Amino acid sequence: MIWKRRRKTRNTVLVLLAVFALNTLTYANMIYSFDIFNNQKYENDPRLTFTLTISDEGLVAGRHTAGLRFDNSSAISSSITDIYFDAHPDTGSSLIFDGVSIIEGTGVSFSKGASPQTLPGGEMLTPKFDKTPEYSADSDSPVSPSGINPNEWLKLVFTLKTERNINDLIAEIAAGGSATATNLRVGIHIQSLPAACGSDSASAINCALPIQPIPEPATICLLGLGALSLIRRKKH
């Protein structure tokens, strides 16, 4: 009887841990897609795939850092050549825009400060994309070959403000283009798109909701323990 009580208590604890994990689910990465908004030819082209992955890069000098990785997984010619960050209000974002680390994948070469200064076509958005973004970067010469071409990537690592963490950053992105909440929008300029004569270009803005949240390993373990507990209880 004592052994059965102990087993029941253990299973109950495991189930409670699993429930707790579901209610306090945290993520190692959040992956967002981009929507082209200023070139009808490519607005819904399934061959174009651009993503932004946000990851927690740990603590540096007592402050959280966040990695923002840009991937081009497109099936046709395309190159991300400019990246822009628009925060609302201008000083409201969790990100510190000074001293950003640029980590380049093979074949990619970027520097701080984009040209043009603002996201092309950004005035079409509601609200309009800031003419003076809080941060921008673009590919070095030669522009398109040095950009983020298919199967290439670039990561920007930002330091977050005091007492801010990755969840604050995710909340700002979730606010989308709201003018009444602290929000952060990320725009990209894409060049070398196929065209009948020469090449075409387009601009895109990140989606507010993630397309693929990935649970942290610790959360997966808790969920697994809870599932095993339920299976064992059914067998006995």
Strand partners, 190: 80, 202
pLDDT at 46: 97
Which tokens sit at 94? 């969790």
What pLDDT, in 10s, does the model give residues 123-175? Answer: 999 999 999 999 999 999 999 999 999 999 999 999 999 999 999 999 999 99
- Rounded Cα distance, 135 and 187, in Å: 11
123 to each of 15, 34, 118, 203, how far by Cα in Å? 51, 17, 10, 11
pLDDT at 236: 52
* Residue spans of beta strands (DSSP E) within the chain: 27-36, 50-60, 63-72, 79-88, 95-104, 110-112, 135-139, 152-160, 183-194, 199-206, 212-215
Q: Where do the domains of the chain lie?
A: 26-235
Give the β-pairing of 183-194 and 199-206.
antiparallel
pLDDT at 164: 96
pLDDT at 91: 87
pLDDT at 214: 58
- Rounded Cα distance, 36 and 42, in Å: 7
Of 112, 117, 93, the residue nearest 101 (C-alpha): 112
pLDDT at 217: 52
pLDDT at 179: 83
- Rounded Cα distance, 151 and 106, in Å: 10
Strand partners, 156: 68, 102
Question: Contact, 30 vs 207, CB < 8 A?
Answer: no
pLDDT at 1: 54
Question: Contact, 66 vs 169, CB < 8 A?
Answer: yes
Mind listing the pLDDT tens digit of every residue in the chain (236 residues)?
Answer: 544 445 544 544 443 434 344 344 445 599 999 999 999 999 999 999 999 999 999 999 999 999 999 999 999 999 999 999 999 999 899 999 999 999 999 999 999 999 999 999 999 999 999 999 999 999 999 999 999 999 999 999 999 999 999 999 999 999 999 988 999 999 999 999 999 999 999 999 999 999 976 555 544 444 444 444 444 444 45
**Residue-wise burial string across 96-123, b where 16 or more C-beta atoms lie within 10 A, e elsewhere:** beeebeeebbeebebeeebeeebbbbbe
